Amino acid sequence: MKLQHNLGGLEGLDPINVEKQVFVEPWEKRIFGIHTAMMALSNHLDTALPNYEIAKVPTQFKSFWTWGHLRKGAEAMHPFEYFRLRYYEKWLGGISGFFVEEGYITQEELDTRTAEFLEDSTKAAAPLPKGGKAGIDTQVDKYLREGDSPMRPAPAPPKFKVGDRVKVKNVHPGAHSRLPGQLRDREAVVVLVYEGAFTYFFPTEDGIGTPMPVYSLLFQPQDIWPESLTEPNSVYYNDIFEVYLEAA
C-alpha cells in the first residue's frame, strides 16, 4: 500500500494552509476543463444510464477516460513524486501522457509547441485556435447536466444489515483503490445500507467494478488509532464497497 492510499491519520503534520481558491494559477483551469471534456466524451458513456449517443458525437476522441483513470494514474505514482507535485500538476502530467500514449499527439509535437510558447511571449499570449464541431460542446453540456450515475440494480441481496459489526479486509490495492488504507483490518458498525448497488468505471485489482452494495460504516477512532492520538467525542464515517468487508 502506498502513502497516497493511506493518508488518514498521519501524525506530526503542519497546520492546514487554508487556500480557498479552486485554482491558484490560471493554467490550472485549462487542465481541469480538458479533463472534464475527456470525461464527457469518453467512449464508455454509451453504456451510461443517460442516453448518450457517444459514437455520434463529432469528436476525434475515441478513448475511455474517467475519474478512475485519473486516480489510477496518481495512485500509481511513486509517493515521493505524488507529494512533490501540486494537485493539477499531477493532472497535467497524467492527461498529456495519456494523449501521447493513445496516439492523438506525439511527445515531439507537445514538446515543440511548449518550447515555442516558452521562447516567444507573443505566441504564448496569442489566442487559442477557434473552431471545432458544435456537437462536441453539446455533448459536454449534456454530460455536465446528466452525469454518469454508478447506481445499478442489485445483483444479490446485501450481505450485511444495519447494526451488523463488520471488519474491513486487508486487501492489497494494486494501482488504484477506493478503500482508505487506515481502515484495513479495522472493525465498524453498519449504519446504512445504500439502496441498489454501485458499479465502478472499471475493475480494480482489489475487487470493485461490478455492481455491489455499499454501506455507510461508523468507525470509532480508537478502533483505528491509538487512543492517545484520538480526540474525545468524535466518530468517523466511510462509505465502503461490500467486497472490502467481512463479518466481524
Footprint of another protein on 45-104 (CB under 8 A): 58-61, 71, 74, 83, 86-87, 89, 92, 95-96, 99, 104
Closest distance of CB 187 from another protein, Å:
16
Closest distance of CB 190 from another protein, Å:
14
Nearer to another protein, 27 or 248 (CB): 27
Nearer to another protein, 172 or 237 (CB): 237
Distance CA 134, CA 120 (A): 31
Distance CA 108, CA 128 (A): 19
Q: Which of 47, 51, 80, 131 binds another protein (CB under 8 A)?
A: 131
β-bridge pairing 151-152 and 187-193: unpaired
Closest distance of CB 247 from another protein, Å:
20
| Grid cell of 221 as nine digits | 477512532
> Applying CB under 8 A, does 137 fall inside the site for another protein?
yes
3-state secondary structure of 245: strand
57: alpha, beta or left, given left = phi > 0 and alpha = psi -120 to 50?
A: beta
* Interacting positions 9-48 with another protein (CB under 8 A): 9-10, 13-22, 24-27, 29-34, 36-37, 39-41
Closest distance of CB 227 from another protein, Å:
12
Per-residue contact flags (x/-) with another protein for residues 147 to 186, judged by CB under 8 A: xxxxx-------------------------xxxx-x----
Residue with cell 468505471: 201
| Grid cell of 80 as nine digits | 515521493
Q: How many CA atoms does the CB half-sphere of 234 hold within 13 Å?
A: 10
Nearer to another protein, 67 or 156 (CB): 67
> Applying CB under 8 A, does 116 fall inside the site for another protein?
yes
Q: Give me the count of residues in the chain.
A: 248
H-helix or E-strand containing 81?
Answer: helix 79-84
What's 140's DSSP letter? H
Please count the residues of this chain forming the interface with another protein, following the rule CB under 8 A. Answer: 101
